[in-house]
Amino acid sequence: MTNEEFISLHREEDVRRLAFSRAPEGVDLKWCLQQIEGWQIARRKLPSWAATEGIWYPVKLSMEQCSSEETARYKGSLVERLIPEGRTSMVDLTGGLGVDFSQLAPLFREATYVEVQPQLIELAQHNFPLLGIRDATCTDSSSFLDEPSVGLRPSDYFTLHSSLFFIDPARRDGVGRKTVSIQDCTPNLLEMQDELLARAQWVMVKLSPMLDITQALRELHGVREVHVVSVQGECKELLMVMKAGAEGPVTMHCVNLGTDEDEITITLPASNLCSSAIEPKVILNKALGSNESNLRPFLYEPNASILKAGVCDVLTKKYPIAKLHARSNLFVSKQLIAHFPGRRFRIIGVSDFSKKNLKALIGDLDKANLTVRNFPTNVEKLRRQLRLAEGGDTYLFATTLNDGQHALIRCEKA
């Protein structure tokens, strides 16, 4: 039996169980398990790769760290907007598995993939032709870097000018621990950025979604755009788009891929980066509206990109909504906003935390999805107090209203 036959036969099976099986003669079990595990991850994360016969996959850690196909496509559309024509050459300085490169390379006349790990270069050279990328140059990073933590190597290549440099610094240290700050990543972008900006029309940087955006804007030069990218409600990455000599306002884009939600774009003044400087409309009425004409039956929770960017208050200028409290990040409206960028709910009822009123609101429930916003108790403690298991179709929000009253809001998905 060949490796390919073994992989095809066992592709859907549990890798941990297969690891204890006896390999048939001629089968490299370790390699096959790596390919089966990689394909199972790719089926969810990289569907077009998984559908392509013959793709080779790296170890699990590399699969987990690589971009999803959806976020890679977003980068491609971003580059098409930034450089509508004349896309001569691009360099991916941290190629990895090559997912981002596979979406960016076809947009340019010349594309260079750079990687420090020889095994990933070998995979890229094998995979790219299968993905339709036939003219890419794959090279070891020694051609471009001295030491990864130091900076760029003086090279004849960098006398040329590229349309785009893309860099995704590794967010793990020498012993595999996760890092967040820019200077702790490899390579250290802070030591490279001026050289990169001098040699490219645009520099696009992928950073950890845990990174403080305000700090990144202080440390990076020439940032023109910030993209906070979520996929179906989970914040996945920050993209910083840089251009030499750029000064003035920065445009913030908050997107939630894989949904029908609106993209939110905000221009941040250079003197007040990462602050919307907008006073939110706050509902003044007790318990979400004290009479029939003032009732606001829909509740909204902004998506992860907007929460990460810290620009929730901008939403009250874009939509006919009001905040329940200045610090709650929960909004209400009289009419349903179909494409609001976040979760959308219909309010069923509201209660304070007296036993009588809580019983009237949730006495029929044995489980619910509980969220705490601007509230003195955490989810675990409140769930025990309410004696509710997790799950079901009911959503409860424990929060503080503008008048200081603690409230429990019962909702269902709108």
55-80 residue pLDDT tens: 999 999 889 889 999 999 999 999 99
**Domain contains 268:** yes
**Domain's final residue, options 272, 294, 324:** 272
Q: What is the pLDDT of residues 234-251, one digit of tens each?
A: 999 999 999 988 777 899
Average pLDDT rounded to a whole number, residues 120-139: 93
Are 242 and 303 within one domain? no
Q: What is the pLDDT of residues 42-56, one digit of tens each?
A: 999 999 999 999 999
Are 223 and 262 within one domain? yes
Are 219 and 176 within one domain? yes
Q: Which two tokens stand for residue 142?
A: 């020694």
pLDDT at 290 over 90: no
**Domain contains 278:** no
Are 72 and 100 within one domain? yes
Contact predicate 124/105, CB 8 Å: no
**Domain's final residue, options 245, 272, 299:** 272
Are 58 and 130 within one domain? no
Are 251 and 310 within one domain? no
**Domain's final residue, options 16, 36, 64:** 64
Are 264 and 291 within one domain? no
For residue 157, give the CATH number of its domain.
Answer: 3.40.50.150
What is the helix (H) or strand (E) element at residue 140, kind and residue range?
A: strand 137-140
Are 17 and 161 within one domain? no
Give the C-alpha separation, 355 to 240, whole Å. 50
Q: Which amino acid is at 183?
A: Q
**Domain contains 409:** yes
For residue 12, give the CATH number of its domain.
Answer: 1.10.10.1110
Are 231 and 98 within one domain? yes
Contact predicate 274/217, CB 8 Å: yes
Residue 5, pLDDT score: 83
**Domain contains 277:** no
Give the C-alpha separation, 107 to 85, whole Å. 10
Residue 218 region by backbone torsions, left for phi larger than 0, else alpha for psi between -120 and 50, else beta: alpha
Residue 143, pLDDT score: 56
Are 82 and 224 within one domain? yes
Give the C-alpha separation, 113 to 125, whole Å. 10
Q: Calculate what percentage of the chain has a pLDDT beyond 70.
A: 86
Expressed as residue numbers, the domain containing 199 is: 66-272
Are 78 and 53 within one domain? no
Residue 178, pLDDT score: 61
**Domain contains 24:** yes
Report the mean per-residue pLDDT for the chain. Answer: 86
CA angle, 72 as apex, 241 and 225 as ends, to 5°? 15
Give the C-alpha separation, 10 to 360, whole Å. 54
Residue 366, pLDDT score: 94
Residue 283, pLDDT score: 53
Domain count, the chain: 3
Are 241 and 115 within one domain? yes
Residue 9, pLDDT score: 84
Average pLDDT rounded to a whole number, residues 97-101: 96
List, in order, residues 6 or more apart from 337 with CB less than 8 Å away: 298, 300, 319, 320, 321, 344
Question: pTM of this prediction?
Answer: 0.87
**Domain contains 125:** yes
**Domain contains 208:** yes
**Domain contains 279:** no
